[in-house]
Amino acid sequence: MTLEQTFLMIKPDAVAAGKIGRIISRLEDTGLKIERMELAQLTFEQAAANYAEHKGKPFYDSLIAYIVSGPVVKMVVSGEGAVAACRKLMGATDPAEAAPGTIRGDFGLTVDANVMHGSDSSASAEREIALFFE
């Protein structure tokens, strides 16, 4: 494995529910390092750019409205195989399908309010880090 960076975002539902510390603890407990972190309110433009691949899909408008509905925690996380490690730790996109012990499995409510966003590849991580941490 190689040392890499990835982008993670704790979504508005988890921020509002006070899950930030518990989620960060899980990341750190696996040996991942948080290099940058910021509590922020996303702009419509940032949300649209981040989820551009979903434009035109039935859930796109509600996704954008949701992600800008409250503060999020943006993070740059590094470690050995960080992208894959974070995806495994987060669990399946739909919390109903996420394994117990994963972040989404333990804290997620619905596929729409699924606690976290994480880069799905090194290329996505690079793009998202540049988008959210200029």
* Strand residues in the chain grouped as ranges (E): 3-10, 33-40, 72-80, 116-118
54 has catalytic annotation: no
Given 32, 79, 117, 119, the catalytic residue: 117
Q: Which residue has the tokens 């998202």?
A: 128
24 and 34 Cβ atoms separated by less than 8 Å: yes
- Each as own residue / partner, the long-range contacts of residues 15-23 (CB below 8 Å, 24 or more positions apart, any chain) are 15/39, 15/70, 15/71, 15/72, 15/73, 16/70, 17/107, 19/107, 19/115, 20/73, 22/107, 23/103, 23/107, 23/115, 23/116
> Which residues belong to the active site?
117
